[in-house]
Amino acid sequence: MTLRGVNGKSHKDSGAIRDHYHIKTPEIQLYIFLALVSGCGTGKMKRILFLSAVCIGLAGCGTTITNLTPRHHLRSSNGLYPVEVAWDSTQKTIKEKTIKPYVIVGTEAYPMRPSPMVPNRWETMIPVPPDQNLVNYRFKFDYDYRAIPATRGSSKLSAPYRIEIKDR
């Protein structure tokens, strides 16, 4: 079978390109074949794909919420238990002074305060009734970020976590 490429040259389709790249769908086969025969060699195509992947990886705005709270606590006499979280973000547009973290327990939100001497860490105490042995909670971070034309607000919610309260 003879195919005509984008540059006007005709080429024989031997199936080697499809077999080499393990391509199954005909539409994708055609696009890759046209890209290869239109003057973009395999080496150049690999470089373009590699650079595209690097750019996408570097441009990502990742935020990590790390639970620093132990999973088990001994029952305390006052019914308060410490929780601590670390926040790390590569998003450069976040206004640091606007970050407001909370611990969400059921429908209650408990504000957190910055940990002394440690950046990007927050802590608080949450109440647990004496008849409860498990507490499910999440962290929520509200913050503002620079956008065009004006600052916008957003929030991040952590995965669910659990504290087990053990009797002495």
Q: Which residues contact 152 (CB under 8 A, 6 or more apart)?
A: 144, 145
Q: Could you read off the pLDDT of 110-130 as tens digits, one per residue?
A: 999 999 989 899 999 999 999
Q: Where are the domains of the chain?
A: 2-59, 63-166
Q: Which pLDDT band holds residue 50 (cuts at 50, 70, 90)?
A: low
Q: Could you read off the pLDDT of 56-95 as tens digits, one per residue?
A: 444 456 889 999 999 999 999 999 999 999 999 999 999 9
Q: Could you read off the pLDDT of 5-17 as tens digits, one per residue?
A: 555 555 555 555 5
Mean pLDDT of the chain: 79
d(CA 115, CA 122): 5
**In this model, does residue 54 exceed pLDDT 60?**
no
Q: Which pLDDT band holds residue 167 (cuts at 50, 70, 90)?
A: confident
d(CA 126, CA 72): 14
**In this model, does residue 45 exceed pLDDT 50?**
yes
pLDDT of 62 reads: 87
- CB 37 within 8 Å of CB 13: no
Q: Taking the complete model, does pTM exceed 0.75, yes or no?
A: no
CATH number of 63-166: 2.60.40.10
**In this model, does residue 99 exceed pLDDT 70?**
yes
Closest by CA position to 83, among listed 121, 120, 129: 121
Dihedral sign of CA atoms 65, 70, 71, 75 in order: negative
Max CA-CA distance within the chain?
84
Better pLDDT: 140 or 42: 140
